[in-house]
Amino acid sequence: MKTLTYAEENYLKAIYHISEAGKKGVSTNDIAAAMQTKPASVSDMLRKLSNKKVIEYRKYYGVHITEEGKKYALQTIRKHRLWEVFLVEKLHFTWDEVHEVADELEHIKSAILIQRLDEYLGYPKFDPHGDPIPDEYGDVKARPRLPLSEIEINGTGQIVAVKDSSAAFLRYLDKVGAYIGARIKVLDKVEFDGSVEILVDNKKKIFMSREVAGNVLVMV
Amino acid sequence: MKTLTYAEENYLKAIYHISEAGKKGVSTNDIAAAMQTKPASVSDMLRKLSNKKVIEYRKYYGVHITEEGKKYALQTIRKHRLWEVFLVEKLHFTWDEVHEVADELEHIKSAILIQRLDEYLGYPKFDPHGDPIPDEYGDVKARPRLPLSEIEINGTGQIVAVKDSSAAFLRYLDKVGAYIGARIKVLDKVEFDGSVEILVDNKKKIFMSREVAGNVLVMV
DNA sequence: AGATAAGTTTAGGTATAACTAAATATTAAT
DNA sequence: ATTAATATTTAGTTATACCTAAACTTATCT
Ligand SMILES: [Mn+2]
Ligand SMILES: [Mn+2]
Ligand SMILES: [Mn+2]
Ligand SMILES: [Mn+2]
């Protein structure tokens, strides 16, 4: 059991998330953008992470996360998402308020704490943004889901997650009345701009731009 | 509102605790002992804390915490103790398990988090070790209390806190059946070694060495 | 292919927070 | 009042994690 620093945990989490999105090697620039830091700093860190065997690093060709690295990343993600559930369910934070605080809480080092927290929360399977919570071994139950923008007219489904979980986007969804768990039906799609009209819970008609609909994930 | 680093918060908390115990200037060596570090490292840090105006520092003559410094220290102590209550009340940690984890949690920077946590816990006034929880302005309600070793024969009272909150001591108290809230009566005091015999909750007779009784605090 | 652009790494520097060893100041003892 | 003991600070070093500027590698374009 290696001990990673806060910075190392953050980099590893970012590398994991980027490599989940696209399948190939993760580039220095992409990591720098995700971490809001400079490519030169990333190069420094990649050498460190490589020495700790949590990534495979070939200079100039981007990095791959190792199996061991993936375990550490998923552990951090597990903590992040469990804390998010805690903040929303127990402390009544809104889903747009939790991310920053969870980014700090995810680094608290105590196996028993996370075990107890999980138990206390009733072993939740998804966080407030619909993202799956890895179990203590790092196993994630992926749910098949696709962007709302890709549902056909008259197609139905349930909102299960968001792709963008920025505060601005989440507050916008609150405003229009979209939320996780909502049952939806696509009433109309505008060919011209890709915007959609949907019916929420068989009650409320709402409009979404293609941009917005692309960031709302649905299970059919 | 200055931002203190984790290390600065820890030093300031230690300095506050030491200066509460004895009234005069806090020495470099005492801080080093409390922080489990070297005097040379303490000297470095004192210069930093002095620049930030949270302590008054005259070389070779120890330090005094400023009013502003006290506010920061009490804020950290507030967070520490609230988290301890959370761990015990909600996550069912035992009172000997909470200190380490709280030492990490106390540095999480989010005013709203602490406000909500306080509310969620029902605005507790004392932590699991009987120590008072400062309010959001740093006000502490001190409870008059004295070591059990100083109670006269036939004197009664209630255990309200412990002076030593090391895991070993707390587990020992668990074992003999002493706990916070217990009503006690001193049945006998042995002149020779200062040990005491006490009656707990009008039921159970227990023995304590002078050492132990000196670390159990009672309200009469 | 050769030149240029884009991406990445290296070199050198800063800030924090430790450490050891040496120097210096204060306090206690003779 | 010196000297010795104790306490404290300074000097110099290390490790982490950033930065800018310069050098270098790879990819792209004509
Ligand atoms: Mn998040
Ligand atoms: Mn989330
Ligand atoms: Mn504690
Ligand atoms: Mn406590």
CATH number at residue B214: 2.30.30.90
Report chain B's terminal Cα–Cα distance, integer Å: 41
Are the Cβ atoms of B97 and A105 closer than 8 angstroms? Answer: no
Could you list the residue range(s) of the whole structural domain that residue B209 is in? 146-219
* Two tokens, residue B32: 């080093």
Q: Please tell me whether any atom of strand C lies within 7 Å of the Cβ of B3.
A: no
Decide: A209 and A192 in contact? Cβ < 8 Å: no
Distance A22 CA to D26 C1' (A): 21
In a domain, B17, yes or no: yes
Protein residue at shortest CA distance from C1' of D6 = B29
User: Which bases of strand D sit closer than 7 A to a protein CB?
Assistant: 7-12, 16-22, 25-26
Total residues belonging to chain A? 220
Report the residue from B87, B108, B116 with minimal CB separation from A104: B108
Q: Strand A204-208 and strand B204-208: pairing?
A: unpaired
Instruction: Find chain A residues with C-beta within 8 A of B100's C-beta.
Output: 110
Instruction: Report the nucleotide nearest the CA of residue B7, measured to C1'.
Output: C17
In a domain, A78, yes or no: no
> According to the model, what pLDDT value does residue A142 have?
87
- End-of-domain residue from the set B65, B88, B112: B65
Cβ neighbour number for residue B170 with a 10 Å cutoff = 22
- End-of-domain residue from the set A23, A40, A65: A65
Report the residue from B91, B110, B117 with minimal CB separation from A117: B91
pTM of the model: 0.94
A-side interface with B, Cβ within 8 Å?
Answer: 87, 90-93, 97, 100-101, 104-105, 108-110, 112-113, 116-117, 120
Provide the number of structural domains found in chain B: 2
pLDDT in tens, chain B (220 residues): 889 999 999 999 999 999 998 878 899 999 999 999 999 999 999 999 999 999 999 999 999 999 999 999 999 999 999 999 999 999 999 999 999 999 999 999 999 999 999 999 999 999 999 999 999 999 999 889 999 999 999 999 999 999 999 999 999 999 999 999 999 999 999 999 999 999 999 999 999 999 999 999 999 9
In a domain, B106, yes or no: no
Give the A:B interface size as CB pairs under 8 Å: 38
Instruction: Report the nucleotide nearest the CA of residue B47, measured to C1'.
Output: D9
In a domain, A130, yes or no: no
Q: Strand A156-162 and strand A216-219: pairing?
A: antiparallel
> According to the model, what pLDDT value does residue A5 have?
97
In a domain, B110, yes or no: no
Instruction: Find chain A residues with C-beta within 8 A of B97's C-beta.
Output: 112
In a domain, B137, yes or no: no
Instruction: Find chain A residues with C-beta within 8 A of B3's C-beta.
Output: none
B-side interface with A, Cβ within 8 Å?
Answer: 87, 90-93, 97, 100-101, 104-105, 108-110, 112-113, 116-117, 120
- End-of-domain residue from the set B32, B65, B98: B65
In a domain, A111, yes or no: no
Confidence of residue A21 (pLDDT cuts 50, 70, 90): confident
Q: Provide the sign of the torsion angle of the four alpha carbons A15, A21, A23, A25, taken in this order.
A: negative
CATH number of the domain residue A49 falls in: 1.10.10.10
Name which of B113, B134, B115, B117 is nearest B125 in CA terms.
B134
Distance (Å) from CA A95 to ligand 1 centroid: 9
Give the DSSP letter of residue A14.
Answer: H
In a domain, A72, yes or no: no
Q: Which residues pair with B218 in a beta bridge?
A: B146, B159
Give the DSSP letter of residue A160.
Answer: E
